[in-house]
Structure 1
Amino acid sequence: MSSMNQTILLHEISKLKSKQAQWEPFAWYKEMRENSPVFYDDEQDAWNVFLYDHVKRVLFDHQLFSNKKERSLIPVPRVDNRSNVNFCDPPEHRKRRAILAHAFTPRSLEEWKPRIQAIVDELISDIDSETTVDIVQKLAVSLPVTVIAELLGVPSKDREQIKYWSDILFYPYAKETYDDIAEQKERAMKEFYEYLYPIVLEKRKHPQDDILSDLTKAELEGERLTDEEVVRSGIGLLGAGNETTTMLISNMFYSMLFDQPGIYQELRTDLTSVPKLVEEVLRFRFPVAMDRKVAQDTTVFGHKMKKGQMVIAWVGAANRDESQFAHAEDFDIHRRNNQQHLTFGSGPHFCLGAPLARMEANIALTAFVKRFADIQPVEGFEVTGHLTDSATGQSLKSLPIRLEKA
């Protein structure tokens, strides 16, 4: 079982304790950018960077900042095998990533578009007759898990179970309940593994048009991936494909209601604004952090960072750096460079699923805007009652909204 000192606890660094402060850490980000842009936390022996250029350098420069690490923010139990793209650097990383990458090429995504559109249409027609709907449960949660199950070739009837395992695997550790959470994760990983294993064996015998079948045929250094490696890759993709896309879709609706009320009408008059809104939500409302290990002694940020120490790149803070984004604290879908956010990472570890997440968000929002004339918050909505602990701090577990039919 992974011990507590292998896990970096973000809230112990930020000292943001309340749900509200973790949901809106942006004032703290600003304070750190202005007063302590390179900050050393001695309790966890971890450096922290908050400026856009620093964060980008940490994510890009694998010679100085390695992804081969023993400690991590990622709360998933670690299994390092040849199909894991998370804990390695180029050139090894390039080989591993190439196996998964061909599933996410623009060509593959174009082929999947009609399948994604069909899933979106079905979910939206399910809420068509409602006047109030919990958009998190009915769309943000359902869409990504249904899509990724379909693309991987896993029975869609099992999607609630898959979502359950993914949620446990990505649930953040806390100091007080560490061992208990670690045990739940080990159990979820074991159950998830035992569930996928026979499916993978079946795909090897009878390949179909899906990612798991492709992985059974994929080769690494002239050898096929083992059944175990295919299963582990499947778990990684099923888990990762859920969490972030659910958060993106939930946050899009929150931003339309609270960050810039009225923007929904602009989307209705001009659907080309939909992708712009998606990018601005990724920039504006994603409190993401990523970690690397210092690979050699360096003073690249003006402080002595020692080989072996950890460095946390506070991506959510970088995305609001005024030197990169003018009026960064304003929600503005017409910002010319809002696509330069770092929410999906940067450099060799740029998120493989980014094009899929964008596609799901754009298809979902476009279909939604065509179907409904307007959205409003429900009366008396208080965000703190609708939040849940997540890997990045807090995320929406529900968001009730009022719908007006077009």
Structure 2
Amino acid sequence: MSSTSQIILLHEISQLKSNEAQWEPFAWYKEMRENNPVIYDAEQDVWNVFLYDHAKRVLFDHELFSNKKERSLIPIPRNDNRSNVNSCDPPEHRKRRALLAHAFTPRSLEEWRPKIQAITDELVKEMEDQMSVDIVQKLAIPLPVTVIARLLGVPAKDRERIKHWSDILFSPYNKEAFSDIAEQKAQAMQAFYDYLYPIVQEKRAHPVDDIISDLTKAELEGEQLTDREVVMSSIGLLGAGNETTTTLISNMFYAMLFDKPGIYQELRNDLSLVPKLIEEVLRFRFPASMDRQIAQDTNVFGFEMKKGQIIVAWIGAANRDEAQFEHAEAFDIHRQGNQKHLTFGAGSHFCLGAPLARMEANIALTTFVKQFANIQPAEAFDLTEHLIDSGVGQSLQSLPIRLESV
């Protein structure tokens, strides 16, 4: 079970206390980029960087900024094992990543495209006769969790349980209710583990064409992974594989309705713009942060940073750095180079699931846009009623929209 000394509490650093401020932290990001681009938080012994070049250096330079860390932002109970790609550096990282990489190659994903399309078609068809729909509950949540469950080889009928456990594991800690949250996470981890263990045993005895079966056969340093290691890897993939993509799809619809009203019609006239919109949402509306442990004393950013301290790269701030993106505070799907955002990380730890997330978002939005002539916000929409605590601060737990059929 985690203790307060192991978890970095971002909201204590940012002082963004209200749900609305956490959903829209961008004015604070701008203030930090301009006035405090490198700042030390003495209470938690954490350095923070907000500029694009600084964040990119933190993510790329594993000799200075290591992924082997004693403390972390990641609010999931840390049960490290040999297959955990998020707690090591090259060259060890390359071996561990190779265990999982095969499933996420472009060729493997192209084989999955028709299955993802079929799942999407089914979800969109259910909306056809509706005047309004909650796009988070009806598309953004069920699509990613169904896809990752099928990829891994877990029964799709269990997706609500999987989503429930994942939401608890990825929910953020706070000071006031720390021990209660830690207990909830421990219980969710145990339930998730108990659910997956017999599935892993069955697939080791009778492997089929899915990721869990592949993991049972995989070797690391001449040894097969234990059942426990396969379970823990599967929990990580099931959690990360649905949370990020759910947030992306939810935010795409929010951006079309509120950040750039009218952009939906532009997509309907030119579906080739869909991938560009996805990249701009990832750049513009994704307040992610990533942490590393300082591996040696350094003053690379102009301050004396000590070995063992933690450094946080505020990715959401870096993605709006005017030095990298002209007119960065504007939502512009025609922006050149908007795919250079850091939302999926950079360097050796670039997110394995990024191609899958992009494919799911692309299929989801393209299919939806073909089916519906227009979307509008629900009447009397009050954002505060639709937010929920999440790993990125606040996410949409619901987003009611009005539909116009083709």
Q: Quickly name the TM-score band, shorter chain normalised.
A: over 0.9
2:252 counterpart SS class: helix
SS at match of 2:141: helix
Please list the CA deviations of residues 321-354 of structure 1 after superposition, one character each: whole Å capped at 9, or x if unmatched: 0000000000000001100000000001100000
Runs of 4+ in 1 over 2 A off after TM superposition: none
Is 1:404 aligned to residue 400 of structure 2?
no
Q: Distance in 1 between matches of 2:25 and 2:384?
A: 14
Q: Which amino acid aligns with 2:241?
A: G
Aligned length: 406
Aligned equivalents of 2:151, 2:391: Cα separation in 1: 25
Alignment of 1:33-112 (within 5 A): 33-112=33-112
- Give runs of aligned pairs for residues 288-327 of structure 1, distance below 5 A: 288-327=288-327
Q: Which residue of 1 aligns with 2:218?
A: 218
Identify unmatched segments of 5+ residues in structure 1: none
2:160 aligned residue: 160
Q: Indicate the SS of the match to 1:334.
A: coil
Distance 2:245 2:70 in 1: 27
What amino acid does structure 2 have at the position aligned with 1:10? L
CA distance in 2, matches of 1:129, 1:82: 49
Q: In the aligned structure 2, how far is the partner of 1:20 from the partner of 1:231?
A: 37
Partner of 2:375: 375
Aligned CA-pair RMSD: 0.5
**SS of alignment partner, residue 5 of structure 2:** helix
Deviations 1:109-165 (A, max 9, x none): 000001100000000001111110000000000000000011111011111000000
CA deviation after TM superposition for structure 1 residue 385, in Å: 1.2
> By how many angstroms is 1:224 displaced?
1.2
Measure the CA separation in 2 of the matches of 1:385 and 1:228: 40
Question: How far, CA to CA, are the matches of 2:356 and 2:217 in structure 1?
Answer: 22
Code of the residue aligned with 1:369 in structure 2: it is V
What's the CA shift for 1:266? 0.4
- Report how far residue 207 of structure 1 moved: 1.0
Corresponding residue for 1:366?
Answer: 366
C-alpha separation between the residues in 2 aligned to 1:166 and 1:82?
21
Counterpart Cα distance in 2 of 1:177 and 1:135: 31
The structural deviation recorded for 1:320 is: 0.1
Counterparts of 2:124 and 2:2, CA distance in 1: 42
Query: Which residue identity does 1:397 align to in structure 2?
Result: Q
Partner-residue secondary structure (3-state), 1:351? coil
**Is 1:390 matched up with 2:398?**
no
Q: With the length of structure 1 as denominator, give the TM-score of the two structures.
A: 0.99
Distance 2:223 2:129 in 1: 53
CA distance in 2, matches of 1:157, 1:30: 44
User: SS where residue 293 of structure 1 aligns?
Assistant: strand
Matches within 5 A, 1:125-274: 125-274=125-274
Q: How far does the alpha carbon of each residue in 1:299-327 deviate from its partner, in whole angstroms, 9 at most, with x for none?
A: 00000000000000000000000000000
Q: How far apart, CA to CA, are the structure 1 residues paired with 2:309 and 2:234?
A: 31
In structure 2, list runs of 5 or more residues that go unmatched.
Answer: none
One-letter amino acid matched to 1:122: E
Partner SS, residue 303 of structure 2: coil
Once the two structures are superposed, residues 330-388 of structure 1 have per-residue CA deviations (whole angstroms, 9 ceiling, x without a partner) of: 00000011000000000011000000000000000000000000000011111111100
Per-residue deviation at 1:3? 1.0
